[in-house]
Amino acid sequence: MTRLALTDDTRRQLRDRLRFLPTGGEPALQTLRLRALLEELDIHCDESIDLQDLDAVLLASSHGTEALVAARLDVEQRHVAYARLVARLLVSDIHAPIDAKMEYAVAQNGGSTREREEEAIVLGLARALVHGRLESAPRPLYEDVPKLSLAFTPRSAARSTLGGLHRWSVLWYKRSDLYRRLRARPRVSEAIGRICVALDGGTGLVA
């Protein structure tokens, strides 16, 4: 089995911190928050690199994990780059002993179906981070959720139904531009949140 450079525990810590990250403020302040979040997890950030065709790179090596951000970016572009790095860490597997995930300045249309779907999720989650609306992305991307399973009681049936909703949400989020656009609308996010409360009676975070 291939060893992962980013452990499940580290990813769990990132998800836990991300949910309580303050929102609002100027892009420079939001960027500082995201950078601090990465550095808390021992991910070294460097904004002095001369990257021409790339906005950022996640690099895993024997020295640890580094986030390299292009020096040429302006304040808003840097904010987006950090949001994409955080989203990439949540979505992608980074393998040891060496691996690199590249965030291009221009969207790349090539790659396999799996790579294109992963890119769609990263872009959507990064957009949610930039706008300070994490709830506009599917909840399984940033929090542990109920799983779809065989149910034998009214309570477990409801949670299993909720698990199926989460699974469906992620599936269409990575495959459908229309669903991602709809999912980003506040009214749609709020409606899905109400469904989650009805099925789980929990925090009201959305699917």
Contacts 24+ apart (CB under 8 A), 24-28: 24/132, 26/75, 27/75, 27/76, 27/78, 27/79, 28/75, 28/79
Residue 172's contacts (CB-CB under 8 Å, 6 or more residues apart) are 179
Domain boundary among 83, 104, 125: 104
Which pTM does this prediction carry?
0.84
User: Does residue 130 lie within any of the structural domains?
Assistant: no
Closest CA to 205 of 24, 18, 14, 38: 18
Mean local confidence (pLDDT), 133-158: 74
**Where is the domain boundary, 58, 81, 104?**
104
The residue range of the domain holding 28 is 8-104
- Answer with the one of 48, 81, 104 that is the final residue of a domain: 104
pLDDT score of 192 more than 70: yes
Q: Is residue 42 part of a domain?
A: yes
The domain total for the chain is 2
Between CA 37 and CA 76 the distance in angstroms is 18
Would residue 193 count as lying in a domain? Answer: yes
pLDDT averaged over the chain? 85
At residue 135, what is the residue type? E
19-33 pLDDT, tens per residue? 889 988 999 999 999
> pLDDT tens across 67-100, in order?
999 999 999 999 999 999 999 999 988 877 788 9
78 lies in the same domain as 145: no
Strands 64-70 and 99-104, bridge-based pairing: unpaired
How confident is the model over 172-183, as a mean pLDDT? 91
**96 plus 158 within the same structural domain:** no
> Could you tell me if 27 and 78 lie in one domain?
yes
Q: How do residues 87-137 score in pLDDT, each as one tens digit?
A: 999 998 887 778 899 998 777 776 788 888 999 999 999 999 999 999 899
**Is the pLDDT higher at 35 or at 6?**
35
